[in-house]
Amino acid sequence: MNMPGVLAIGLAVIISSGCAARFSQDAADASATPNRTANLNLGVSAEAIRAEHGQPLYKRGRIDSDGSRLEDWFYLDAILSFKDDNLDAFRPR
């Protein structure tokens, strides 16, 4: 085999091993982060959640047709939905 062919194969092996190592590290990091929604219960007040988890990155509010105030709080790892200042729904990202 000629020299450029050997170099190309070696480069491909190095790149693929680096990508595989990075992927496994990301998977390990993702499993090590705590699940914010694991200890939430529906009906908990917004103030209690703010005290425990801190301020959200972003909040979006609206009023529904019944006149209830709805808010969505966006954290890095979860979205929390409130209805009249009580937790109504949540989902991890």
Strand 58-63 to 78-83 pairing: unpaired
Q: How far apart are CA 7 and CA 9, in angstroms?
A: 5
| 12 has a pLDDT exceeding 90 | no
- pLDDT the model gives residue 19: 59
| 1 has a pLDDT exceeding 60 | no
Q: Where are the domains of the chain?
A: 1-32, 37-93
Quickly name the fold that domain 37-93 has.
Beta-lactamase Inhibitory Protein; Chain:B, domain 1 (3.30.1450)
- pLDDT the model gives residue 63: 92
